[in-house]
Amino acid sequence: MTSDYPDLQTQLQNKINQKTKPLGALGRLETLALQIGLVFETLTPEIHNPTILIFAADHGIAQSGVSAYPQSVTAQMVLNFLNGGAAINVFARQHNLSLKIIDAGVNADLSDYDDLQHEKIGFGTQNFLDVPAMTLFDCEKALAIGGTIVRQQHKVGCNCVGFGEMGIGNTASAAVLMHLFTKIPLDECVGRGTGLNDEQLEHKRNLLQLAVEKYPTLKTPHEILMTLGGFEIAMMAGAYLQAAELKMLILVDGFVCGAALLVAQQFNPHILDYCVFSHVGSEHGHRALLNYLNAKPLLDLELRLGEGSGIALAYPLIQSAILFLNEMATFEEAGVDKA
């Protein structure tokens, strides 16, 4: 990470090493504390107004049977979020995390719900088996809106932001994006999503292979994203980029959020410096995606839910890293002999 304070990393490491413990005894928490201090450019980092933004949108590819659930579930789950009944609501309440739900492109009229942030690009993307998922204009609009949403959060004092998602069919989009950006074989990127059986999984693989073959000339990140992405993925990518520009701590959830981060990385190769990876999930491609990013997730709980649930569960570890850095006594303060 490039810092405006070139000696900060050394100072942070010295501060960590002076705590009353053997060198390195807090393991990954020490690495995490160092990273957070560098992100916030201070020896005494603090998190303010931590917020999870859930981007929801529908995907045209869902009409081709790549999910075990009907597309209508996207809108139904958005209402569940707004009513406080989903897993992410429970975990966010547990850890005092703010939640904001964004309609990036749900295939339903949700205009009557005041608690929902209305940023709908369209009523779901097109089926990319037939035509590109979205226009270049809509792709760029989604990227820009994602950045605006993060700026809004930053203006009200938020310096730590995580992203969740909801969208039936979005693991299909995430898988092809992962394949094209990483060059990892498609079969290693495609998973069961919401719980496909073996026959359905094979159908999903075959459809996505046809989609990749349909667009052999895709080169730029914009071309790949507009052709095979989703509105929520594009919006998340723009949000990641803005959060890094504002030097916020970025909390990364599961497979789909990781694919959106891959998109953002095409525009800012240093974005990973700001990212804490909450967990590795059981979706087939997630571990390979994290390995590609050289990312070390905090948890391995076999999650495959999305919604930002992994972020909420990992958040206490992030708090612990900051608290030990700021509050744990040094050898000198405690009168403890060093090794």
- Do residues 258 and 175 make contact, with C-beta atoms less than 8 angstroms apart? no
Residue 165's beta-bridge partner residues?
55
- The C-alpha atoms of residue 311 and residue 316 are separated, in whole angstroms, by 10
Active-site option among 307, 327, 332, 333: 307
- Do residues 179 and 185 make contact, with C-beta atoms less than 8 angstroms apart? yes
Judged by phi (left if over 0) then psi (alpha if -120 to 50, else beta), residue 141 lies in: alpha
- The C-alpha atoms of residue 108 and residue 166 are separated, in whole angstroms, by 14
* Tokens matching residue 155: 């203006």
- The C-alpha atoms of residue 12 and residue 10 are separated, in whole angstroms, by 5
- The C-alpha atoms of residue 36 and residue 276 are separated, in whole angstroms, by 9
188 flagged as catalytic: no
* Active site positions, annotated: 307
